[in-house]
Amino acid sequence: MQNIDILVATTSGNTEYLADQLSNQLQEAGYSTTLHYEPDYSDLMESLTDQSVWLCCVASHGAGEYADSMIDFAEELHTHKPQLAELRFGVIAVGDSCYDTFCAAGRDCDAMLAILGAKRLITHLEIDMSQDDPDEKSSTWLQSFIQSL
């Protein structure tokens, strides 16, 4: 069974909730999932195989910074710049359009993984928490993500 690693960048929990919903939907679609509420760089690197798929759910905080749970992971990724040619991925960026740095962390994650050689399965999704229905928007996107696997 194909496993999807779900990496979560959250500070106040909205994105954790969203990731849980997506995990349930993936399981209903016949996939196994591993939720990483505080992604550990070493663990994820060691477990990489040519079957690895990451679904990154990334909220922006600060001035476009990664939300707390993924700050360390993002720093390690930028520092070590691992070769990720085996990896396939998709990114959901969570933010609020009242900030100039709308969805900046999710955009960075999407760009960084591609720069490191990973295969982008689908254009990243941006969720504007001030306007969008996150469940509806992410569910629709997830169907395309699943089809791209």
Ligand X SMILES: Cc1cc2nc3c(=O)[nH]c(=O)nc-3n(C[C@H](O)[C@H](O)[C@H](O)COP(=O)(O)O)c2cc1C
Q: Which residues bind ligand X (CB under 6 A)?
A: 10-15, 59-64, 67, 94-96, 99, 101-104, 129
The residue among 37 and 82 lying less far from ligand X, judged by its C-beta, is 37
The residue among 18 and 87 lying less far from ligand X, judged by its C-beta, is 18
**SS3 of 62, please?**
coil
Residue 3 C-beta: closest distance to ligand X, Å: 23
56 - beta bridge partners?
A: 7, 91
Residue 130 C-beta: closest distance to ligand X, Å: 8
For residues 57-72, one letter each, b for 16 or more C-beta atoms within 10 angstroms of the residue's C-beta and e for the rest, the string is bbbbbeebbbbebbbe
Both tokens of residue 6? 């779900």
Residue 127 C-beta: closest distance to ligand X, Å: 8
Residue sitting closest to ligand X (CB) = 95
The residue among 56 and 59 lying less far from ligand X, judged by its C-beta, is 59
Residue 103 C-beta: closest distance to ligand X, Å: 5
The residue among 2 and 14 lying less far from ligand X, judged by its C-beta, is 14
DSSP summary character for residue 70? G
| Residue 108 φ/ψ region, left for φ over 0, alpha for ψ in the -120 to 50 degree band, beta for the rest | alpha
**SS3 of 7, please?**
strand
The residue among 7 and 103 lying less far from ligand X, judged by its C-beta, is 103
Residue 14 C-beta: closest distance to ligand X, Å: 3
CB of 5 within 8 A of CB of 36? yes
Determine the Cα–Cα distance for residues 2 and 78; give it in Å rounded to an integer. 28
